[in-house]
Structure 1
Amino acid sequence: MSDSLSLSHRELELVDALRRLGGSARSSELAKMLDVSEETVRRTIKALDKAGAVQRVHGGAFLAGPQSATSFARRISENQKEKARIAARVASYVRDGMALFLDVGSTTAFAAEELRQKSGLIVVTNSIGAAQTLANHNGNRVHFLGGELQSNERGTFGFVAEQQIRRFALDFAILSADAFSAKHGVLYHSAPEAQLAGVVADCAEQVAVAIAHPKFQETAPHRGPAPDRIGLLFTDRAPGRKLAEALAGWGVKTEVAAGSKEND
């Protein structure tokens, strides 16, 4: 990070605001907190990103840090156009007043932004970012799960989170994943994340997974919800033959977001 003496007063204010908001925030939140326009915030973020003090991402910024190369900030900066298209398709399935779950995934973060157009949602989440995005907006009620905070994922996991989610009857659960296997289904690098996803799926009427197409070529060691518990796969490109056949066998409907190569 650049020496703080080289930053302007406004830049230092924004960095301080990010610290007070847990290390990340949307541009609209920062504008409200600093009592300036969103355009001013965007310009300041751009300057701070160039100076190495923050990392600019879709709709906001994260404080730069030693874990930035492997953190949520890095993931949300990848495949942004694809994730935005997926998020728009996800939001089209959500009705005002629904009770839904959002996890800590980067594509889910884009979905949270799209869901700001909805009203009266009951949102249950373990994601700091999703909670910040949807709380106190359009009559939404946000329930943030307790548990152990994992700063690199910017969310909570473990026994407490799992016990709390069991108290909810959800209309819709929107999950991310690290991989989607034709043999095993949804896979995660983190065992606590896989475990929580399985519990969430048991509490939801409908379960969706939202991932960009590169995840079809990835693998991970921990299984998530049983594949036949998933009703929808939102992605930006149709999966290959083997995975498509597996999805059909599990009864998973694939929704390919508009704007992908298949729809151009």
Structure 2
Amino acid sequence: MLPAARHQAIVDAVQRERVVRVSDLAQQLGVSLMTVRRDIEQLEEGGKLERIHGGAKLPGDASAYEPGFEQKSTQLTAEKRAIAVEAAGLVQEGMAVGLSAGTTTWALAKELAGGPRITVVTNSVRIADLFHHAASSGSARYASTVILIGGERTPSDALVGPIATGALKQLHLDILFLGVHGMDAQAGFTTPNLLEAETDRAFVAAARRTVVLADHTKWGMLGISSIAALDDVDEVISDAGLGADARRILGETTKLRVVVPA
């Protein structure tokens, strides 16, 4: 592919996705990571995009951009399922389990919907619906109790805000599985939604144990608001695409589990 064609493909991807990863672009274009980085540098000089750690975004601040659930649910499905299977092994009968909103926690909900019998607390409309359909269709071996907290609905179908936060302050969870928009050595775990960050912080405060579920593309992504520092959570479950620097930093601050997609 000629440089001009590559540049146009990169610009199109940034305009479509708002934020793109160097590794994804290299795979899509069939070129090296170094080639993509040089292309991004040239495009930044021309004002077409802005470089970020590990990728590029639209010029200006895209840290508050929040993609919808449908868009995110079709990405990295094998990685998300592998993370979900690993996380499901941490759940035992009778637990009070928190599931924050997100496509990876939704993948975990699919693993848990058939049993064991647990109490699920979630701010995700999608996750609550999944458990409801599993119980009503008879596909669930055990019917779990599902508590859907209220609040204002976000583009990713999360319920957030003062009502959600107030409800979580009354609850106690054995384990929380937390989905995040980004992971960063300085900013920690972040989200593009200010109200969702507040609600997620209430989730963390309510839980004895917090496990972040995040595929490798979340490293280096930066949302506008921090949820927690890296060392504020107990574990992170990610996939084998996670880079060496990310593994080192996460391994030094929390327990890291890396899974290999099937």
Number of the residue aligned with 2:115: 118
Give the distance between the partners of 2:115 and 2:108, measured in 1 at CA: 11
CA distance in 1, matches of 2:85, 2:174: 18
Q: Report 1:234-253 matches (<5 A).
A: 234-237=237-240, 239-250=242-253, 252-253=254-255
| Residues 180 and 216, structure 1, Cα contact 8 Å, conserved in 2 | yes
1:189: Cα distance to partner?
0.8
Q: TM-score, normalised by structure 2?
A: 0.68
Q: Is structure 2 residue 151 aligned with structure 1 residue 147?
A: yes
Shift of 1:118: 2.1
Report the Cα distance in structure 2 between the residues aligned to 1:258 and 1:70, rounded to whole angstroms: 26
Provide the C-alpha distance between the structure 1 equivalents of 2:150 and 2:210, rounded to a whole number of angstroms. Answer: 22
Q: 1:258 to 1:118 in 2, by over 3 A?
A: farther
For 2:125, the equivalent position in structure 1 comes to 128
Runs of 5+ consecutive residues of structure 1 not aligned to the other structure: 1-68
2:176 corresponds to 1:173: yes
Residue deviations 1:123-158 (CA, integer Å, cap 9, x gap): 0001011111123441200000011122x2112100
Q: Does the 8 Å CA contact 2:115/2:143 hold for their aligned counterparts? A: no
**How far does residue 88 in structure 1 lie from its aligned partner after superposition?**
0.6
What secondary structure does 1:101 align onto?
strand
Q: Give the Cα separation in 1 of the matches to 2:205 and 2:249.
A: 21
Q: How far apart, CA to CA, are the structure 2 residues paired with 1:216 and 1:112?
A: 23
2:87 to 81, 87, 90: 90
**Aligned pairs (5 A) from 1:248-259:** 248-250=251-253, 252-259=254-261
Secondary structure of the 1:186 match is: strand
Structure 2, gaps ≥5 residues long: 1-65
- 1:101 equivalent to 2:105? Answer no
* CA spacing shift, 1:123–1:158, aligned 2, 3 Å: same
Instruction: Tell me whether 1:207 sits opposite 2:210 in the alignment.
Output: yes
Per the alignment, residue 80 of structure 1 pairs with 77
CA distance in 1, matches of 2:67, 2:230: 28
- Partner of residue 39, structure 1: none
CA RMSD after TM alignment:
1.8
Higher relative contact order, structure no. (Cα contacts within 8 Å, ≥ 6 residues apart) = 2
**1:106 partner letter:** T
1:224 counterpart SS class: strand
Whichever residue aligns with residue 215 of structure 2, its letter is A
**Contact 2:189–2:227 (8 Å) recurs in 1:** yes
Are residues 1:189 and 2:192 paired? yes
* Whole-angstrom CA distance in 2 between matches of 1:117 and 1:139: 8
The SS at the match of 1:97 is coil
Structure 1 position 168, deviation (Å)? 1.1
- 3-state DSSP of counterpart to 2:228: coil
Equivalent position amino acid for 1:181 in 2: D
Letter in 2 for 1:125: T
User: Is the 2:240–2:261 Cα contact (8 Å) retained in structure 1?
Assistant: no
Q: Distance in 2 between matches of 1:145 and 1:139?
A: 19
Structure 1 match to 2:11: none
* 1:238, distance to aligned residue in structure 2 (A): 5.9
Number of positions where the alignment pairs a residue of Structure 1 with one of Structure 2: 190
Give the SS at the match of 2:177.
strand
Q: Which moved more, 1:233-242 or 1:179-188?
A: 233-242
TM-score when scaled to structure 1?
Answer: 0.68
Aligned equivalents of 1:149, 1:188: Cα separation in 2: 15
